[in-house]
Structure 1
Amino acid sequence: MEIVTRAARPELHDAAAAVFRERWPEFVFHDDVPARYLGRVETYFPRYDVMVLDEGIVVAGGWAVPLAWDGTLDDLPSGYDDALIRAVDGREAGVEPTSLSFMAAAVASSHDKRGMAGVVLEELTRRAHDDGLRQVVAPLRPTWKHRYPTVSMAEYARWARPDGLHIDPWIRTHQRLGARVLGPAPRSMVIEGTVAEWERWADMAFPVTGEYVVPGALNLVRVDRERDRGVYVEENLWVQHR
């Protein structure tokens, strides 16, 4: 296995993107905030965008952003979008980062259950520590939360197995690396589009105004046919690593 930055191996960009698209529903890729900020993330923070290669093939990857956080719950970003904005705006304003926020990690299905996600997260954590960042956090998108879209993230965060670990495999992965749950990221991503766009992203019909269970969505999607708008506000879950 080899760990490289995506900046060092730009020819693998498409292969890395395919690993991420394999893991998330289409609508996730239509959040307006990343569209405005990811280009600058790639320019400012290439050190925190890594891939794991197995015989030259991308089998896992992950990226993170350094940001200023004072360590209190009140100062946490509201989620993924807000962390992205705080990191980029802080860099441009000359604000010294204190923490690293994992933003995403993915493993190719061919390498499931081999500990590859842990490899990615530990490498990003090592880089944060080497750079003097004092805290590592993440707005998690729990793997099984889409099965319970009407349950709040605060309630879901309390669901544990008899051994004390969470029922959700992605939360467990972080717990096994020493992470503790901080609380919900209430407005982590906001995705808006026309009804036709949402029907295409979700591959389902929205015949009347109302709230819908959409495959892959952690919360309900609100569709307003009269206004021709669909709005999805996703809750994530903040955790903090040791």
Structure 2
Amino acid sequence: MEIVTHTDRPELHEAAAVVFHERWPEFIFHDDVPKRYMGRVKEHFARYDVMVLDEGSVVAGGWGVPMAWDGTVDNLPSGYDDALVRAVDGREAGVEPTTLSIMAVAVSSSHDKRGMAGVVLEELARRAHRDGLAHVVAPLRPTWKHRYPMVSMTEYAGWTRRDGLSIDPWIRTHQRMGARVLRPAPRSMVIEGTVAEWESWADMMFPVTREYVVPGALNLVLIDRERDRGVYVEENLWVQHS
């Protein structure tokens, strides 16, 4: 196994994108905030954009952004989008970062259940500590939350197995590495589009105005046919690594 950054191996960008796209529903890629900020994220924070190679092929990857956080729950960003904004705007304003927010990790389906996600998380955490950042946090998108879209993240995060760990595989991965749950990220991502766009992204019909259960969505999606708008506000879960 070899760990490289996108700067080290830019020719692997497309292969890495395939790994990420196979793990998330299509609508996730239509959040307007990343569209505005990702170019500067890649420019400013290339050190925290890593890939794991197996015999030269991309099998896992992940990335994060350094941001200012005072260590209190009340000072956490509202979620994924807000963390992006805080990191980029802080960097450009000369604000000293204290924390790495791990934004996403993906593992190719060919390498499931081989500990690759842990390899990525550990590498990102190592880089953060090496750079003198005091904290490592992540706005998690729990793997099984989409099965319970009408359950709040607070309630879902409290569901445990007999061993005391979360019922959710992604939360458990972080718990086994020493992470603790801080609080829900209530407005982590906001995705808006026309009804036609949402029907395309979700591959389903929305014949009337109402909230819908959409495959892959952690919460309900509000469709307003009269206004020709669909709005999805995703709730994630903040955790902190020791």
Shift of 1:7: 1.1
Supply the distance in 2 between the matched residues of 1:106 and 1:237 (Cα, whole angstroms).
Answer: 17
Q: Quick check: 1:176 aligned with 2:176?
A: yes
Structure-2 residue corresponding to 1:199: 199
Shift of 1:232: 0.0
Supply the distance in 1 between the matched residues of 2:212 and 2:8 (Cα, whole angstroms).
Answer: 42
Q: Which amino acid aligns with 1:21?
A: H
Structure-1 residue corresponding to 2:232: 232
SS at match of 1:65: strand
Structure-1 residue corresponding to 2:59: 59
Q: Quick check: 1:23 aligned with 2:18?
A: no
Supply the distance in 1 between the matched residues of 2:172 and 2:76 (Cα, whole angstroms).
Answer: 22
Structure-1 residue corresponding to 2:118: 118
1:178-210 CA distances to partner (integer Å, 9 max, x unpaired)?
A: 100001000000000000000000000000000
Supply the distance in 1 between the matched residues of 2:137 and 2:227 (Cα, whole angstroms).
Answer: 38
Task: Report the TM-score when normalising by structure 2.
Answer: 1.00
Q: Quick check: 1:129 aligned with 2:115?
A: no
Task: Report the TM-score when normalising by structure 1.
Answer: 1.00
Structure-1 residue corresponding to 2:45: 45
Q: Quick check: 1:92 aligned with 2:89?
A: no
Q: Which amino acid aligns with 2:108?
A: A
Shift of 1:136: 0.2
Q: Which amino acid aligns with 1:32?
A: D
Supply the distance in 1 between the matched residues of 2:93 and 2:220 (Cα, whole angstroms).
Answer: 36
Q: How is 1:142-157 mapped onto 2 (pairs within 5 angstroms)?
A: 142-157=142-157
Structure-2 residue corresponding to 1:210: 210
Q: How many residues align?
A: 242
Supply the distance in 2 between the matched residues of 1:234 and 1:214 (Cα, whole angstroms).
Answer: 12
Q: Which amino acid aligns with 2:7?
A: A
Q: Which amino acid aligns with 2:13?
A: H
Supply the distance in 1 between the matched residues of 2:128 and 2:83 (Cα, whole angstroms).
Answer: 16
Supply the distance in 1 between the matched residues of 2:23 and 2:63 (Cα, whole angstroms).
Answer: 15
Identity score, percent = 83
Q: Which amino acid aligns with 2:199?
A: E
Q: How is 1:1-20 mapped onto 2 (pairs within 5 angstroms)?
A: 1-20=1-20
Structure-2 residue corresponding to 1:163: 163
Q: Which amino acid aligns with 2:139?
A: P
1:122-158 CA distances to partner (integer Å, 9 max, x unpaired)?
A: 0000000000000000000000000000000011010
SS at match of 1:208: coil
1:62-95 CA distances to partner (integer Å, 9 max, x unpaired)?
A: 0000000000011000000000000000000000
SS at match of 1:181: strand
Supply the distance in 1 between the matched residues of 2:11 and 2:140 (Cα, whole angstroms).
Answer: 29
Q: Which amino acid aligns with 1:198?
A: W
* RMSD of aligned residue pairs (Cα, Å): 0.3
Supply the distance in 2 between the matched residues of 1:67 and 1:127 (Cα, whole angstroms).
Answer: 14
